[in-house]
Structure 1
C-alpha cells in the first residue's frame, strides 16, 4: 500500500564559490527562533522514465533512492504552486512497484519505464525551529552529481539550496526565507527539480513543447482553441492517479473534463479537422459514460441519504437505512469496477495517445488562422441556435415523461454552449463569460429537474425490492413524492433562467 504526503518546497541556485557551507541568518523570519544542524547525508537516486521522457515533460518523477531517512521508491506528481504530491511505496522491489506504475499510465501512455539518470547528492541539512523547538522547515545545501543513463547522455555537477516546509507548515514562511535569500544574492533555481536540471544538462532529448504550433497566427482562433484543448488534456492526465486512488471528487472532475474536451472538439470543428477529432470525441464520450456509473451513483446515494435524514422520525418506517446501505454497496462496487476497467483498457491508452498527438500536431483547418472575434462567435451562435430549438420545444410541451426527456435533451445543449463559451472566454472576454454563466444556470436548473426524474426511478426500484422482502414501502413513497415536487419546482424556474440567455447570445453582445 502506497503512502502519500504533500511536499512544498523551493529550490535556489548556488554558485560554485558558495560550496555547501554558506548559510544566511534566518532567525526572526516569521516564527523561526533557531537553526539546528541536521547532519550530512549521502543520497543516491536512480530516476525512471520513458525513452522520450514523458514523465519529466509532464512535471512528474519516479525514483528509487538509497540513503537518507526515506529510502525507497517515490513517485512525485505536480500540484499547484510550490507543492507536489509524493507517493511512497511501502515495498522495495528491484523493478518499479506495480502500485506506482499504474499511477504513471496517463503520462507514459503505456510506454515502458527504464532508468534514465542517476543523481548522487551530498546533503547538509538544517532545521528551522520555533522557540519551542518545533520543526517549521528544513533547509538543505546540496552538492549534486548527475549521470545520464541514456545512450546520448553525459554528466553534470552543481550546487543548490532547498527549503522544504514541515508537514502542515505555513506557506508564508517560504516567502520570508526567500526575501532574506534574495537580499544575500541567492535567486530561485531555473529548474523546478533536480531531475529536470539533470536531464536538461545531460541529454538533448528534453525540449519544451511550443505553446503554439506552426500554422496558427498569434492570438488566432486556432491559438485559443488549442490552448483550451491542451489545458483540458493536461487536466485529464493529472486526474488519472487521483481517480485510481479514489480521491474525493476525482471521478466527477475527470468525467467533467472529458465532457469539456469532447464538447470543445465538437463546437470548434471549423478549427480542427473532424476526421481526426471525431474518433477522439467518441473515445471521450465512452470514457465519460464509464466514469458516469460511479459518479452518478455518488450523486444519487447522497441525494437519497440526505432525503432520508431530513424526514421526520415518524415517517421512517422499516429498515430504510439498512436497505439503502445494501443498495449502495452493490451499486458502488459495480461503478468502481467499471471505472478501473476503463482506465486499464486499450481504448483508454488509445485516447491518451490521440490527445497527445492532437496537441503536438493539431489538424488545423483554414479557419484556424482567422480572427477569434469572427470564428469563435460564429461557433457560439451555432450552439445557441441548437439550444434555442430544443428549449423552446421542451417549454411548449405539457408536463410528463416526454417533457422530461425534452428538458434533458435541452440540458445537453446548454452544457455544450457553456463549455464553448468557456473555451472562448480568453479571446472574447466578459461577453463570453456572461454567456457561460447564463448557460450554466440553465444547465443547473434543467439538471436538477433531471436529477429528480432519475431519483424517482431509483426510489421506485428500491421500494419494489423492499416490498418484495416484506418491508414497508411507505418511506420510499414519501421520498418519491418529494422528488416529484422538487422536479416540478425546477420546471417552473426554467423559463426564467432561459430568458436570461437570449440577450447574452446576440452577435452584437458577443462582440462588445
Structure 2
C-alpha cells in the first residue's frame, strides 16, 4: 500500500515535454506499453466515487491496483500480484470496495492501452519525480464499444522527492503548453460517470451548511471502510467518530433536516459494533502502559498475558465481527440511506433561514443541554445514579462539541472556541469514566485470576492507579466547569 501524490495535465498531440535539467539529474525517457483492464459495477459505482480498480500488464509495476480517494491530489493505492484470470477480481480487493459496490457484481467496464514514455528526476540513485508522457487508446465496453484517443502527462512524486520539486516540474510543464486536467484519472476521462446527486439547497442558508457537513461526514465514513477492513491503525476509531458526528448532527439539526430517526438508530447500531474493538484496543494499550511503569518485582503472576494477549484475542474477535457487519445487507442499507440523506434530504422551514442566524441559535441550544444535564446531576444524591447522570453530561458535551465543529467554517472562530470548551468538559468526565470502567474490568480479571490460583497483587496496584486517576478528575471537575461556563457566556 502507498500514498500516490501526482499532478495530471492535458496536452495536445504535438506537445513536447520540456527540458527538466537544472531541477535534478534527468534519466530517460524510457518507453513502455501498458494494457489495463478496469472493473466496476454496471452503474459505475466506483468511478462515481473516484475509486479505480484495474488489472495492468506491462511497465515496472504490473499487477492489480486499487486506488481509493484520500484527499485532494492524494490517493491511497493498494496493490496485489497479477493473477491469470481477467474476469475475477481478487477477493482481497473486492472486499475493500464493498462500501461502494454494496453487493453489486464487479465486471470489466473499460480497457486502456497506453504507450508511456517515462522521464525520472533523480538525486544519485534516489528517484525524486517521475514524469509520464502517455498516448492513450481507451475502449469502453458495452453493447457498442466506444474508442477514444488522447494524450496526457503526469508528474508523480517519488519517495525521495519533495512537493516543492513537484510544483516546479508542474510549472515547466504548464509553461510548455500543458493544462491541469479536470479528470481525476484516465478512467474518469474515459467513462465520464454521472456526478453524485447533490441536494438542492439555497446558498447561504442553514440547509446548505448542514447538508454539506453531513455529506463530508458520509465521505469520511466511507473513506475509513477499506482501512477498517485492513485493520489499519486508528481506522476503527475514525470510522466510529464519523458515525457519531453524523448522529450528533442529525440530532442537533433536526429542525433543518427532518425524518432522520431511523438513520440515527442505524448509526447508533454501527457505532456499537465498532465500539467493542475500539474500547478493547484502548484499554489494552492503557494497561500495557501502566504495567511498564511498575518495577519488575511488582508485576506478579501471568497478568501481562491476561491483560495483553487475552484482551488482544478478544479484540481480534471483535474485528471479525466488524468485518462481518460491514459485509451485510443492514450496513449496505444504512449507506444507501446516508446517500439519500445528503442528495434528497427532507428539509424543514429552518433550512431556508440564513445560516449565521439560525445555526448560532442551534449552537446555543446544544450548549444549553449540557448545563441542563449538569443541573439535574447535581440534584441526585445516590452515587450510582449520579454517575449515570454525569455520563449524560459528558454525552451532551460531546454533542455540543460536534455541533460547534460542524458550524465553525460558517459561523467563525467563536464556534471553534465553543468546541474546545465542550471538549474540555468531555475530557475531564471521560478521564473519570475511563478510570471507573478500567477498575471494573480489573476487578473481573482479578477474580478470574484468583479462581485460577494466580497471584493478584498487581491487579490491586493497577486498581489503585485507576482509582487515583478517577478521583483526581472528579475533584478537578467543579473548577473546570466553573471556568468553562464563564468562558461560554462570552462566546454565546
Same fold (TM over 0.5): yes
- The Cα of 1:473 is off from its aligned counterpart by 0.8
Structure 1: give runs of 5+ residues left out of the alignment: none
2:223 to 238, 244, 257: 238
Describe the superposition over 1:134-172 as per-residue Cα deviations: whole angstroms up to 9, x where unpaired. Answer: 322222111011122144763321111112222353222
Match of 2:38 in 1: 47
- The Cα of 1:366 is off from its aligned counterpart by 1.7
Match of 1:252 in 2: 237
Match of 2:121 in 1: 128
- TM-score normalised to structure 1 length: 0.91
Matched, 1:219 2:207: no
Match of 1:404 in 2: 387
Match of 1:170 in 2: 162
Match of 1:197 in 2: 189
The change in CA–CA distance for 1:447 and 1:142 in structure 2 (over 3 A counts) is same
Distance 2:246 2:345 in 1: 14
Matched, 1:17 2:14: yes
Structure 2: give runs of 5+ residues left out of the alignment: none
Question: What secondary structure is seen at the aligned counterpart in 1 of 2:68?
Answer: strand
Match of 1:160 in 2: 152
Distance 1:300 1:439 in 2: 24
Distance 2:59 2:25 in 1: 26
Distance 2:397 2:388 in 1: 14
- The Cα of 1:91 is off from its aligned counterpart by 5.2
- The Cα of 1:111 is off from its aligned counterpart by 2.4
1:390 to 365, 373, 377: 373
Describe the superposition over 1:347-378 as per-residue Cα deviations: whole angstroms up to 9, x where unpaired. Answer: 11011000111111111112111122332233
The change in CA–CA distance for 1:474 and 1:41 in structure 2 (over 3 A counts) is same
The change in CA–CA distance for 1:164 and 1:283 in structure 2 (over 3 A counts) is same
Contact 2:62–2:82 at 8 Å: present in 1 too?
A: no
Distance 1:344 1:228 in 2: 26
1:206 to 188, 194, 198: 194
Question: What secondary structure is seen at the aligned counterpart in 2 of 1:86?
Answer: strand
- The Cα of 1:427 is off from its aligned counterpart by 2.2
Question: What secondary structure is seen at the aligned counterpart in 1 of 2:401?
Answer: helix
Distance 1:426 1:296 in 2: 31
Contact 2:115–2:134 at 8 Å: present in 1 too?
A: yes
Describe the superposition over 1:407-443 as per-residue Cα deviations: whole angstroms up to 9, x where unpaired. Answer: 2121111111111111122221122221111011111
- The Cα of 1:327 is off from its aligned counterpart by 2.5
Distance 1:349 1:58 in 2: 16
Contact 2:284–2:308 at 8 Å: present in 1 too?
A: no
Match of 2:63 in 1: 72
- The Cα of 1:302 is off from its aligned counterpart by 0.9
Question: What secondary structure is seen at the aligned counterpart in 2 of 1:79?
Answer: strand
- The Cα of 1:125 is off from its aligned counterpart by 1.6
Distance 2:334 2:401 in 1: 24
TM alignment of 1:354-365, pairs within 5 A = 354-365=337-348
Match of 2:248 in 1: 263
Question: What secondary structure is seen at the aligned counterpart in 2 of 1:111?
Answer: coil
Question: What secondary structure is seen at the aligned counterpart in 2 of 1:435?
Answer: helix
Question: What secondary structure is seen at the aligned counterpart in 2 of 1:180?
Answer: helix
Contact 2:205–2:354 at 8 Å: present in 1 too?
A: yes
Contact 1:47–1:61 at 8 Å: present in 2 too?
A: yes
Match of 1:333 in 2: 316
Distance 1:27 1:397 in 2: 76
Distance 1:180 1:301 in 2: 52
1:28 to 12, 15, 22: 22
Match of 2:438 in 1: 455
The change in CA–CA distance for 1:401 and 1:305 in structure 2 (over 3 A counts) is farther
Larger CA deviation: 491-500 vs 353-362: 491-500
Larger CA deviation: 295-304 vs 419-428: 419-428
The change in CA–CA distance for 1:302 and 1:45 in structure 2 (over 3 A counts) is same
- The Cα of 1:97 is off from its aligned counterpart by 1.4
Distance 2:187 2:434 in 1: 48
The change in CA–CA distance for 1:492 and 1:168 in structure 2 (over 3 A counts) is farther
Distance 1:396 1:261 in 2: 32
The change in CA–CA distance for 1:57 and 1:70 in structure 2 (over 3 A counts) is same
Describe the superposition over 1:200-242 as per-residue Cα deviations: whole angstroms up to 9, x where unpaired. Answer: 2xxxx523544xx32x321100000001000000000000000
Contact 1:503–1:509 at 8 Å: present in 2 too?
A: no
Distance 1:407 1:16 in 2: 68
Match of 2:270 in 1: 287
Distance 1:54 1:396 in 2: 54
Contact 1:293–1:338 at 8 Å: present in 2 too?
A: no
Q: CA RMSD in A?
A: 2.0
TM alignment of 1:91-170, pairs within 5 A = 92=83, 93-94=85-86, 95-130=88-123, 132-151=124-143, 154-170=146-162
Question: What secondary structure is seen at the aligned counterpart in 1 of 2:97?
Answer: helix
Describe the superposition over 1:436-468 as per-residue Cα deviations: whole angstroms up to 9, x where unpaired. Answer: 110111111111110001100111111111111
Match of 2:473 in 1: 490
Match of 1:8 in 2: 5
